[in-house]
Amino acid sequence: VDIEAGGQKLIRITDNGSGIIQQELALALSRHATSKIHELEDLEAISSLGFRGEALPSIASVSRLSISSRTAQEKHGWKLEARSERPAQPFNQPESGTTVEVRDLFYNVPARRKFLRTEKTEFGHLEDVVKRIALSHFNVDITLRNNNRAVRQLRRAADRLQP
């Protein structure tokens, strides 16, 4: 997770997961879309902060959001700009995984921007969320960088137990 200016300038979240295929990138930015529910029983197994497909479209409406992803089966990745009419474009992404990049938060909503606190305060809120996610997802490593400097390296629980 990369943060700049308390998240107002940049919030970038990168993972090394399985990625999203080109045809589904636009779906990830569609309202009410989800890849987590295929059957009724899936509702009982939700283990994330949400599933209704609101987060990415909501953030995209108040920022300059892009999403890039590559699956292991693809030769290169694909990048989609949320506010662009262009379809996903080929993107040089060496490994599988997904990156969501949020730039210029609230650039188009000045009334909301005035409620943001100092860079330090806003970063503290983001840091708290990252810590909570790390505690509840003990099987992943999370690195948090603020203004290009590593602030937290939260290792997966199995690694923490090693001497």
Q: Report the Cα 49 to chain-centroid distance in Å.
A: 12
Q: Against a cut of 0.85, is the pTM above it?
A: yes
Per-residue pLDDT at 138: 85
Distance CA 156, CA 123 (A): 22
Residue 155 has pLDDT above 70, yes or no: yes
Give 25's pLDDT tier (boundaries 50, 70, 90): very high
Residue 12 has pLDDT above 70, yes or no: yes
